[in-house]
Amino acid sequence: MTLTRPDAPASPATHAAFATLIPRLTDICGRDAVITDPLELRTYECDGLTSHRCVPGLVVLPQTAAQVAAIVSACAKAGVPFVARGSGTGLSGGALPAADGVLIVLARMRKIIEVDPASRRAVVEPGVTNLAVTKAAQPFGLFYAPDPSSQQVCSVGGNVAENSGGAHCLKHGFTVHHVTGLEIVTPDGELTWLGDGTGQANGYDLVGAFTGSEGTLGIVTKIVVRLTPIPQAVTTLLAAFETTAQGGTAVSAIIAAGILPAAIEMMDALSIEAAEAAVACRYPPGAGAVLIVELDGPAADVQAESAAVREIAMRAGAFEIREAADPDDRAAIWRGRRAAFAAMGRISPAYIVQDGVVPRTALHDVLMRISALSAAAGLRVANVFHAGDGNLHPLVLFDDSSEAESAAAQELSGAILDECISHGGSITGEHGVGVDKSKYMPRMFSSDDLDTMQLLRCAFDPAGLCNPGKIFPTPRMCGEVPGVRRGPHPLVAAGQADQF
Amino acid sequence: MLADSIPGPLAAACDEVRLASPADAVAGVQPGLVAAPATTDQASAVLRAASELGLTVIPRGTGTKLAWGNPPERVDLIVETTALNRVIEHAAGDLVATVQAGVQLGDLAGLLSQAGQRLALDPARPGTIGGVLATGVAGPLRLRYGTPRDLLIGITVVRADGTVARSGGKVVKNVAGYDLGKLFAGSRGTLGLITEATFRLHPLPAAIAYRSAECAAPADAARLLSDWLHSSIDPVAAELDWPASGEPIRLGIAVEGSQAGLDERSGERSGERSGSPPGWWNAGAAARSDGTVLQLAFWAGGLGSVLTEIRAVAGRAGLDPAISGSAAGLLHVAVPEQADASRVAGLVTGLRASLAGGADGASGQAARASVVVQQAPAPVRDLVDLFGPVPSLRLMRAVKQQFDPGRVLSPGRFVGGI
């Protein structure tokens, strides 16, 4: 693939800015926390979306909120852009560095400051991994509900930036439902709190507005999270069908029956084939689709719902149903699902993961359209998805040694997102827009919508230095009054921006 | 002030425009005009006309919570949402509904229940969808389902200059772009007019059971609630009612699920079980439409000491308020209309000092409580800051400045005089 962005040569102005910035950052964080060596810098050239790469101008690894504030202040004063990065597992290039900017890596800020079981709250630093929060809460019968599949390594700070979900967000919600307070460094270097941890905003709900803003409104330095009681019982069902249509029928019937499972996942024949090749998950042979339904809650209710789901699946045409009530059996069922993305390497040299969302009731139609688009493009598409909330992860398989095939895969990917939008859906359910999908934003939102969203950006970051170039295809000039323009914008005049 | 004629541009923008009457006054401030657009396009035309005419605007639903907040600095035009009264789409299979802002929460509940579904919000003072969103109110069900912002998945707003903007959509899982719904939920009409909203719905439970008990002291109430919350009974709602200092504290929870499941889960627990809510459920301080009502938010583990502190501070101020609330971190405190204003002000400042004192954004330690005067008679409003200290007020002012640079939307009504 040729998506790699050539590293922009740093301008003389950047060199001058860095010459004063490097000693300043060294003063703030110490010598071992500032990386300037070109080889070491290359380690940070991309996040989990490796098709976009850019070597940062400078990397700094602060250990305290005060250091982050001082770093951001220094950058703001020097007019140098900065990008925050947690564990770098993002899938939309949200933490893609700027060649002329500073990458602020928060991996050294990984203290769990407090667990308050009586209030069901924990206070953590941004570099703490998602799973570490749950581990700290478990002794109190609590857990941290959002569970992105990268939860062993992804950071809570990154989860806040991306409003991360996970397989279980169908019932338990996303990061934004589980964050009640944030300490942030504003893009001009001020350390401040958004919210007070109570979950009741006094004034604008800036916690809600900040969560999911993909690192463009500031850098989070402490997070107050809500903890959830561990359900009394969990059971996982795996149902095998001949077709995804049958699986889809079962999904609709489960929801229509008033059952809200913790997770409903579906895999089609091609993704099952890849998962078998990679991890030998031993799903029922001959399955054209498998449905994984996880139920949690009070034991009696889980038992009743599990019986209901079995019956619904049978009626929809399931030819085999397995049930796992203990953690080992459950892990066996999930093994194939969890391995699905990486398993594509077994059956294709390269693949693009999409993250479109459609209303649950449109799942069948959209899968049929994807199948038709796939046939027309002559490219295989494997479907792995969160069926309960209509979040599709079509994996477009292609040979990246062929320019033509790479281009066709990109085009097919875009066409799939168009299908999602035309069915009233979204271009991203959990991966974020980042740099990867900003070009699709105008297909989903009007220019007035995008312009209005960017008012929030202008309130937080009028200088546009905080994670620039993400989410929005065309940055709004803050302070610009639409329709009233007196001469060219200063940034345009200075050759630093274009308007079109 | 009262107007004597309807300006042409406004009449052209909307079929329903009338001269205001004294009954349209907002916290004692008299508007001149009332417009009732029936579509988002009409609402856009109304706000564009108002902007051109230099009119200040306050959105209004049925007005149940219009008295909340500071009196407006000025109001020329009330934009009433009651004609925006259509349920645009109820996609039952997707558990999603899109409604116009003027739809009554109760009417929507009736419609959704026919499909066995609900919008899981039970504020003590419901009104319209737009009003519920703009004030961010929620009742006992907040324990499980959160507040309006947690159930809102898409929003259409009209900005001060008439620009129509949407964010989110009609799918539950969606992270494309900034979530303006979060910003508008609870924004009290200061950023724009909400015209449409899309919500995530939940299935109505097969059965609901309540469990309630009386406790002699705050510590007992806190212990019982903690027992209930940390047991397999798995409540979806909690509510507390303590009408006066000499009376017992009444505490209750709601449990939802299958009938068999409820029987099993609530068999051995303390307290009395009932199939319908006790009479005091969601009917205490938060439901009062007169007098002073304070809203206290705090970290739920502090319930016992917060209750004790409220009584102590009130006693020093010479008051004996009614206390009620969702127990899990949110309480309301009500003082009658006729109470002496300086005593009420003493209660507010005393509670702030004791619960939310000594902390601000700059100190590195977040305050862990807030005391907000939700509504109060004019003499009380004159004596206290209704919102108290707010972290990141500078950012809030910047947000207001971007969305409403001319300060024409509900000017002065919100935190810090926004």
Helix segments in A280-326, DSSP class H: 299-316
Element (H, E) at A172: helix A169-172
Determine if the pTM surpasses 0.90: yes
Q: Does A292 reach chain B within 8 Å, measured CB to CB?
A: no
Q: Tens of pLDDT along B50-89?
A: 999 999 999 999 999 999 999 999 999 999 999 999 999 9
- Residue B76's nearest CA partner among B60, B58, B59, B64 is B58
Q: How confident is the model at residue A30 (pLDDT cuts 50, 70, 90)?
A: very high
Nearest chain A residue to B165 by CA: give it: A449
pLDDT at B365: 56
A300–B182 CB contact, under 8 Å: no
CA B320 to chain A, closest CA, distance in angstroms equals 25
Interface subset of A 312-331, CB within 8 angstroms of B: none
Strand ranges (E), A186-262: 191-194, 219-226, 228-229, 233-241
CA A415 to chain B, closest CA, distance in angstroms equals 17
pLDDT at A393 over 70: yes
pLDDT at B327: 73
ipTM over 0.95: yes
pLDDT at B267: 63
Q: How confident is the model at residue A480 (pLDDT cuts 50, 70, 90)?
A: low
Decide if A220 contacts A183 (C-beta within 8 A). Answer: yes
Q: Which distant-in-sequence residues (6+ apart) come within 8 Å of B348 by Cβ? A: B294, B371, B373, B380, B384, B388
Least confident of A6-20, B290-304, B367-381: A6-20
Q: Is the model more confident about B365 or about B190?
A: B190
- What number of other Cβ atoms are within 10 A of residue A257's Cβ? 15
Q: Which residues in B lie closer than 8 A to residue A359 (C-beta atoms)? A: 91, 93-94, 96, 170-171
Q: Does A141 reach chain B within 8 Å, measured CB to CB?
A: yes
Q: What angle do CA A202, A208, A210 make, to 5 degrees?
A: 110
Who among A206, A256, A361 is closest to B395 (CB)? A206
Q: Tens of pLDDT along A249-273?
A: 999 999 989 999 999 999 999 999 9
A196–B402 CB contact, under 8 Å: no
Q: How confident is the model at residue A478 (pLDDT cuts 50, 70, 90)?
A: confident
Who among A209, A446, A478 is closest to B183 (CB)? A209
B329–A200 CB contact, under 8 Å: yes
Question: How many A/B residue pairs have CB atoms within 8 Å?
Answer: 283
Q: How confident is the model at residue B268 (pLDDT cuts 50, 70, 90)?
A: low
- Strand, coil or helix: A167: coil
B178–A429 CB contact, under 8 Å: no
- What number of other Cβ atoms are within 10 A of residue A114's Cβ? 13
pLDDT at A466 over 60: yes
A120–B372 CB contact, under 8 Å: no
Interface mutation vs chain B, best among A121, A200, A210, A437, most B CBs within 10 Å: A200
Q: How confident is the model at residue B289 (pLDDT cuts 50, 70, 90)?
A: very high
Q: Is the model more confident about A499 or about A203?
A: A203
Q: Tens of pLDDT along A36-52?
A: 999 999 999 999 998 89
Who among A118, A431, A459 is closest to B398 (CB)? A459
Q: Tens of pLDDT along A69-114?
A: 999 999 999 999 999 999 999 999 999 999 999 999 999 999 999 9
Q: Does A121 reach chain B within 8 Å, measured CB to CB?
A: yes
Q: How confident is the model at residue A3 (pLDDT cuts 50, 70, 90)?
A: very low
β-pairing verdict for B164-168 and B87-91: unpaired
Percentage of chain A modeled with pLDDT above 90 = 85
A438: left (phi over 0), alpha (psi -120 to 50) or beta: alpha
Q: Which residues in B lie closer than 8 A to residue A195 (C-beta atoms)? A: 366, 391
A177–B146 CB contact, under 8 Å: yes
Sign of CA dihedral B403, B407, B410, B414: positive
pLDDT at B363: 43
pLDDT at B356: 78
Q: How confident is the model at residue A194 (pLDDT cuts 50, 70, 90)?
A: very high
Which residues, listed in sequence order, are joined to residue B77 by a DSSP beta bridge?
B33, B57
Reduced DSSP (H G I as helix, E B as strand, rest coil) percent helix, strand, coil of chain A, to 5: 40, 20, 40
Q: Tens of pLDDT along B357-412?
A: 754 444 445 689 999 999 999 999 999 999 999 989 999 999 999 999 999 999 99
Q: Does A22 reach chain B within 8 Å, measured CB to CB?
A: no
B177–A165 CB contact, under 8 Å: no
How far apart are alpha carbons A114 and B259 in whole angstroms?
A: 39
Q: How confident is the model at residue A351 (pLDDT cuts 50, 70, 90)?
A: very high
Q: Does B302 reach chain A within 8 Å, measured CB to CB?
A: yes
A448–B164 CB contact, under 8 Å: yes
